């Protein structure tokens, strides 16, 4: 048993040496040259006896773990990721770093797979939550590979974690009317209307200014993820309720939605979420959340025959798979289509 452990230590030491040499020459050799170098190193070191003196844990990498994490976060900020997204990346990577006792450039697939298994056990979280961590780590290590800090991402062989498909709820027409009828201020009514007619993200809603609204054409331009702008459209009822709200205001803030109390500052995401949650509790409606309006818009659009590519554009999704994930097909429509095309 002792002999086996020593053999494994020697093999790991040789692999570390090979990896360090390859990483040092990464910027000077192409893929075929790197492959040739790898074969030569493996053949030569196979004939060399390596003696493990002590585990000094010497960091050969040019950058520390924190330096690499900070470089990645900076890159994401430059790419236009929101502060919320970069904070989530940072939190995920700092947690991983605190649990791993080796340099990031030396982490293996087995290391990261074990970390994810332990993460789920310790935090007792869902498969979906673990998969979110996996995606963040995958993004980080892919970036390290692209920037030539590592040869190959150790996350490539850790695939998407299969999760149970949960059909998420949407608002019925009756629920939407109930929410509208019980708003106790013009602002909240306008918020519900614009969310339920445009399908915009709550983060896009709170960034809007009054002069962004084109009342004549019933549209406005929002800035989505990655600061990508796109037009969204609202209905006549939203136009009326927005105008009523703006006419009732006495402040000079250019923000479209502001707090009810002085100094009437721009409403933030948590402010919208709290207000809607309170309205739902008062009416006995569970899970009233701004994102649910977005899902409702997507579902209604597809059910009424809007082409999926247009729904994708309306919601500002870069991947059509995301649009399909948001939109839940009405089973009654499936039944009618079966009668029409199959039965």
Instruction: Indicate whether 279 belongs to any domain.
Output: yes
Whether residue 195 sits in one domain with residue 118: no
29: confidence class by pLDDT, cuts 50, 70, 90: confident
Q: What percent of the chain has pLDDT over 70?
A: 86
Whether residue 326 sits in one domain with residue 180: yes
Q: What percent of the chain has pLDDT over 90?
A: 56
Whether residue 248 sits in one domain with residue 216: yes
- pLDDT digit string, tens, across residues 230-266: 999 999 999 999 999 999 999 999 999 999 999 999 9
Whether residue 255 sits in one domain with residue 290: yes
Whether residue 322 sits in one domain with residue 260: yes
> Does 196 score more than 90 pLDDT?
yes
Instruction: Indicate whether 185 belongs to any domain.
Output: yes
Q: Which residue has the tokens 């192409």?
A: 30
- pLDDT digit string, tens, across residues 323-335: 887 655 555 666 6
- pLDDT digit string, tens, across residues 68-108: 999 999 999 998 888 888 999 999 999 999 999 889 988 98
> Does 302 score more than 90 pLDDT?
no
Instruction: Indicate whether 275 belongs to any domain.
Output: yes
- pLDDT digit string, tens, across residues 212-227: 999 999 999 998 877 7
Instruction: Indicate whether 53 belongs to any domain.
Output: no
Which structure tokens are listed for 284? 């006995």
Domain count, the chain: 3
The pLDDT of residue 37 is: 81
Whether residue 301 sits in one domain with residue 195: yes
- For the four alpha carbons of 249, 250, 256 and 259, in that order, the dihedral sign comes to negative
Whether residue 101 sits in one domain with residue 238: no
Q: Which of 116, 108, 113, 109 is nearest to 92 (CA)?
A: 116
Whether residue 250 sits in one domain with residue 106: no
Whether residue 42 sits in one domain with residue 69: no
Whether residue 241 sits in one domain with residue 291: yes
The pLDDT of residue 21 is: 81
Give the full edge-to-edge strand order of the sheet including 219-223: 213-214, 219-223, 229-233
Instruction: Indicate whether 59 belongs to any domain.
Output: no
Domain that holds residue 117: 65-146
Instruction: Indicate whether 60 belongs to any domain.
Output: no
| Residue 121: CATH number of its domain | 1.10.150
52: confidence class by pLDDT, cuts 50, 70, 90: low
């Amino acid at each position: 048993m002792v002999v086996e452990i020593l053999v494994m230590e020697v093999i790991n030491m040789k692999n570390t040496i090979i990896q360090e040499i390859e990483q040092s020459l990464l910027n000077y050799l192409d893929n075929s040259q790197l492959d040739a170098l790898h074969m030569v190193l493996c053949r030569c070191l196979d004939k060399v006896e390596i003696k493990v003196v002590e585990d000094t844990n010497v960091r050969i990498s040019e950058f520390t773990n924190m330096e690499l994490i900070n470089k990645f976060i900076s890159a994401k900020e430059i790419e236009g990721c929101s502060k919320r997204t970069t904070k989530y990346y940072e939190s995920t990577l700092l947690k991983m770093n605190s649990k791993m006792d080796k340099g990031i450039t030396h982490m293996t697939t087995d290391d990261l797979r074990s970390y994810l298994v332990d993460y789920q056990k310790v935090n007792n979280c869902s498969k979906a939550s673990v998969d979110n961590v996996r995606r963040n780590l995958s993004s980080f290590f892919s970036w390290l590979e692209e920037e030539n800090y590592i040869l190959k991402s150790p996350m490539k062989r850790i695939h998407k974690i299969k999760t149970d498909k949960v059909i998420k709820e949407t608002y019925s027409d009756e629920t939407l009317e109930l929410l509208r009828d019980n708003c106790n201020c013009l602002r909240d009514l306008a918020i519900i209307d614009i969310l339920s007619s445009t399908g915009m993200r709550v983060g896009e809603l709170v960034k809007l200014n009054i002069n962004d609204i084109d009342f004549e054409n019933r549209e406005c331009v929002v800035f989505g993820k990655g600061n990508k702008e796109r037009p969204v459209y609202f209905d006549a009822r939203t136009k009326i309720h927005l105008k009523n709200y703006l006419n009732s205001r006495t402040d000079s803030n250019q923000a479209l939605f502001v707090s009810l109390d002085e100094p009437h500052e721009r409403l933030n995401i948590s402010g919208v979420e709290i207000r809607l949650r309170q309205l739902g509790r008062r009416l006995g409606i569970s899970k009233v959340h701004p994102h649910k309006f977005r899902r409702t818009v997507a579902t209604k659009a597809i059910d009424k025959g809007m082409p999926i590519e247009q729904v994708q554009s309306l919601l500002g999704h870069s991947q059509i798979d995301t649009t399909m994930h948001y939109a839940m097909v009405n089973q009654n429509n499936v039944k009618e289509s079966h009668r029409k095309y199959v039965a």
